[in-house]
């Protein structure tokens, strides 16, 4: 019986020693955090939307109002060289293309694209080529095709 008591007491003492070894008591806990960098992930491509079309009364010019939606624009090559104009599905060149910036906000830019000296009778198609607006993730806009109705 004496032997069983000694084994039991040894097991109990051994159990307490093991459990005491896993407990840490500290008055202060020091946490060290270091910020390595700020990652800004841009998943959306620049988007071009048509907001309005205005045909003149003298039927000599037409104005397209477009909105470019993108926060992080790096390259903006919106100019007459990156526009394709068709009247009744035939390529045409207006006498003058005027591109005016109407407003600029943090996430959008609004432009008026005015085509002067163009027949406005019939269907007019304005094609804005792809990748003229590029963001910080090197993503370009998709080609935008805008058609007017007769």
Q: Report the C-alpha gap between 58 and 120 in whole angstroms.
A: 9
At 1 the pLDDT is: 64
pLDDT tens, position by position, 92-141: 888 999 999 999 999 999 999 999 988 777 888 999 999 999 998 899 99
At 12 the pLDDT is: 86
> CA 36, 73, 108 angle in degrees (round to 5)?
120
pLDDT tens, position by position, 49-74: 999 999 877 778 899 999 999 998 99
| Exposed/middle/buried for residue 146 (C-beta within 10 Å: 0-12, 13-18, 19+) | middle
At 26 the pLDDT is: 63
Predicted confidence (pLDDT) at residue 38 exceeds the cutoff of 80: no
Predicted confidence (pLDDT) at residue 22 exceeds the cutoff of 90: no
**pTM of the predicted model as reported, rounded to 2 decimal places:** 0.70
| Exposed/middle/buried for residue 99 (C-beta within 10 Å: 0-12, 13-18, 19+) | middle
Predicted confidence (pLDDT) at residue 150 exceeds the cutoff of 70: no
Predicted confidence (pLDDT) at residue 28 exceeds the cutoff of 90: no
Beta partners for 83? 128
At 43 the pLDDT is: 83
Q: Report the C-alpha gap between 42 and 72 in whole angstroms.
A: 8
- What Rg value do the Cα atoms of the chain yield, rounded? 35
Confidence of residue 25 (pLDDT cuts 50, 70, 90): low
Domains of the chain by start residue, with CATH? 47-147 (2.60.40)
At 114 the pLDDT is: 94
């Amino acid at each position: 019986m004496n032997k069983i008591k000694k084994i039991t007491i040894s097991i109990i003492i051994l159990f307490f020693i093991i459990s005491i070894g896993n407990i840490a008591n500290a008055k202060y806990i020091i946490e060290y955090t270091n910020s390595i960098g700020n990652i800004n992930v841009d998943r959306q491509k620049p988007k071009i939307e048509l907001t309005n079309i205005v045909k003149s009364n003298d039927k000599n010019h037409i104005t397209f109002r477009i909105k470019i939606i993108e926060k992080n624009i790096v390259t903006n090559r919106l100019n007459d060289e990156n526009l394709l104009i068709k009247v009744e599905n035939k390529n045409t060149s207006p006498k003058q293309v005027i591109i005016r910036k109407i407003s600029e906000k943090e996430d959008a830019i609004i432009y008026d694209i005015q085509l002067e000296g163009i027949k406005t009778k019939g269907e007019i198609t304005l094609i804005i080529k792809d990748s003229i607006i590029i963001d910080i993730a090197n993503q370009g806009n998709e080609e935008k095709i805008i058609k007017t109705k007769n």
